[in-house]
Amino acid sequence: MIMSGSKPAVIVQIQLIDIHGTYYYDLAYQHLDDQQIRRARIGKEDIYNNPQPGEQVQVVYLMNVVTEVRRKET
């Protein structure tokens, strides 16, 4: 369990969805040190523009809940 902090991951699948006019991303991702595919639904404002499968990201957690996804700095 990650109480707070961030971990590197790669986006496996991502889909933009519209729920009553509010946009979210359904995200499937995998931490670089783990084989498990994890899933999260986050607000469009909590991720960078135009995320794509295969991109390396930094997943930010608070109380084991994804709160933000950042493009990984190169």
State residue 3's pLDDT score.
80
pTM above 0.75, yes or no: yes
What pLDDT is stored for residue 39 in this prediction? 97
- Quick one: pLDDT at residue 74? 63
pLDDT, position 73:
75
| Residue 2: pLDDT band with limits 50, 70, 90 | confident
Residue 35 has pLDDT above 80, yes or no: yes
| DSSP letter assigned to residue 3 | S
* DSSP per residue, 5-67: EEEEEEEEEEEEEEETTEEEEEEEEEETT---EEEEEEEGGGB-SS--TT-EEEEEEETTEEE
Number of structural domains in the chain: 1
Q: What is the CATH number of the domain that holds 38?
A: 2.40.50
Query: Residue 37: what pLDDT?
Result: 97
Q: CB under 8 Å to 47, separation ≥6 — which residues? A: 25, 27, 68, 69
Find the domain containing 48 and state its range.
4-71
